[in-house]
Structure 1
Amino acid sequence: MAGSWGVFGLTGLVGDSLRAQLRPGDPLAWAVTRRPPAGGDRLPWIVGELPGLADPPPVHAIASLGPLDAFTDWFEASSLAPGRVVVLGSTSRHGKADSPDLAERALAGRLADCESRLAACCERRGSALTLLRPTLIWGHGRDRNLARLVALARRWRWLPLPRTARGLRQPVHADDVAAAVLAALRAPEPVPGAFDLPGGETLPYDVMVARCLAAAAPGARLLRVPGPLFRLALALAGRRGPGPGVVARLDRDLAYDGGPVRAALGLPARPFRPGPDDFPK
């Protein structure tokens, strides 16, 4: 196991999962947060935010569970040189690179740029970089994608989808993302590399959504409509509907090879089986 750890993003969705999986012997030296969670836990919080945070005490390993761009900017400006760095990126680096949405293409470009800059910075400082790119993160009622669909289905009692919404997806549970980060931190030796981190099951988009509705919006049903009718409804919805990039990907496969990350970190492959507690009430 690496020596002392410092962690950014320990109060987000993945951060909550990681805190729940901490063991008494895990050497967490500090955790940076803008606002410590309520409840009086005794974790070594440092209150601050990126990019203006002064260098915290040196540690053997740093993990970042938050936005990759903010961490990259901060790490480049810092003087720390930990033995290993474990960060979360996103498969949006691949999946949104050719999006019709300019903002999504810009996001993919920023992710790619940050990966390159962070890799170069770690190489200069002798830090082993483990970059994990999760796919669609779900669980604990805090994701921003599947929960939104469930909320619409609860309100309307039906959810329209184009008939072609069959693109493959691999949702990954927040607990599994946290487990991957911890595996990289706890490993006896660094596990350098950039790894896509999909969930353990590959399924069509409409099947994924149907499972969400069955778990958290019982009685609601999918309404499969022709593509032109779906696009017309979105045009009438205006800004309230999903953007053009989201719609363009509904029939596109966004599936990635999870074999390398599971072999490197010894992770299980959890299927997609959401329950009612995985979505807001």
Structure 2
Amino acid sequence: MTLLVLGASSQIGRFLLPRLCEAGHDVLALSRRSQPAQSGVRWIEGGLPDAMPRDLPALSGIVSYGPLLPFAQWLAQAPLRGSPRIVATSSMSAQTKRDSVVAAEREIARLLHEGEQTLADACSARGLAWMVLRPTIVYGAGLDRSLTPIARRAARLHLFPLPAGRGLRQPVHADDIAMASIAALDPAAASGGILPIGGGERLTAAQMFARVRDSLAVATVPLPVPGVALHLAARLAPKLRGPLARLDEDLVADNTALVRLLGVQPRPFRPDAGCWGLAR
């Protein structure tokens, strides 16, 4: 049967599709942008729900890396054949941004929680096995909006700000999330839960930024940013208040259930320039 992948051109999808094709799966992939032809993959261009054909083939599984709530709403009424296993990604932001000082971040957390609950309800009503993965900071394909912009700006300016930060971080490679998705699609895998997934190493925010700098193929001048400068930046730039306020908070995931249920051991944080879409 066929696997349906939504958000197939996302940073996680870019690692998932080759693994599925190598394993011999037929893949129906949805992307908002036109994609190059790929053996074993049939692309659908557009977004939910308009682009999805009404005559879907029998599906063994559905993987969604796009916005969770629209996917859950579509799934609740989608004309499915068979009983596909459902794997979707949420975000640890559902937890870490719940009490943010920034209203827009609190709304992100609320929507993530709503998406998780709507998906659980839809799967329960239809008798579908499901799993939601909650990743921490995702990296690896140069498409993330957290570490990649920092790395690219530093490579361009040859200057790397290093903010003080004692809070623990646990960046997770997109390929490890792809492997967890494949494990969750196994009919023998557990279902009906939300699994945190973080990288295989915890380090302080300051150490994380230093590792990003070390990964670059060009020399950069380190620019330590003291706490007083961060406090001033938070006052002058409201959009930065949330991230800067969390520099001393631990933003980590407990991988115990991930290892026990899916057998996935994420890699430690050892990035190279290719992780940011830069020349190695």
TM-score by length of structure 1 reads 0.89
CA RMSD after TM alignment: 2.1
Q: Residue 66 of structure 1: SS of its match in structure 2?
A: coil
Change in CA separation of 1:154 and 1:74 when aligned onto 2, cut-off 3 Å: same
Map 1:1-281 to 2 at 5 A: 3-39=1-37, 41-52=39-50, 53-55=52-54, 56-80=56-80, 82-163=83-164, 165-185=165-185, 187-192=186-191, 193-216=193-216, 218-233=218-233, 235=235, 238=237, 243-281=240-278
Letter in 1 for 2:28: W
Letter in 2 for 1:139: G
Q: Residue 153 of structure 2: SS of its match in structure 1?
A: helix
Change in CA separation of 1:25 and 1:42 when aligned onto 2, cut-off 3 Å: closer
Letter in 1 for 2:232: L
Q: Residue 79 of structure 2: SS of its match in structure 1?
A: coil
Distance in 2 between the 1:103 and 1:263 partners? 35
1:153–1:217 contact (8 Å) kept in structure 2: no
Change in CA separation of 1:148 and 1:8 when aligned onto 2, cut-off 3 Å: same
Distance in 2 between the 1:280 and 1:232 partners? 31
Task: Give the deviation of 1:153 after TM superposition.
Answer: 2.3
2:69–2:118 contact (8 Å) kept in structure 1: no
Gaps of 5+ in 2: none
Structure 1 residues 25-71: Cα deviation after superposition (integer angstroms, max 9, x where no partner): 44335222233422454512233311333442331321112221221
Distance in 1 between the 2:267 and 2:66 partners? 23
Distance in 1 between the 2:147 and 2:258 partners? 24
Identity %: 38
Change in CA separation of 1:78 and 1:204 when aligned onto 2, cut-off 3 Å: same
Tell me the matched-pair count.
274
Distance in 2 between the 1:229 and 1:60 partners? 53
Distance in 1 between the 2:37 and 2:28 partners? 18
Change in CA separation of 1:137 and 1:60 when aligned onto 2, cut-off 3 Å: same
* Bigger mean CA deviation after superposition, 202-211 or 78-87: 78-87
Q: Residue 113 of structure 1: SS of its match in structure 2?
A: helix
2:28–2:41 contact (8 Å) kept in structure 1: yes
Structure 1 residues 76-110: Cα deviation after superposition (integer angstroms, max 9, x where no partner): 23233624111111111101101111111001001
1:150–1:217 contact (8 Å) kept in structure 2: no
Distance in 2 between the 1:45 and 1:38 partners? 9
TM-score by length of structure 2 reads 0.89
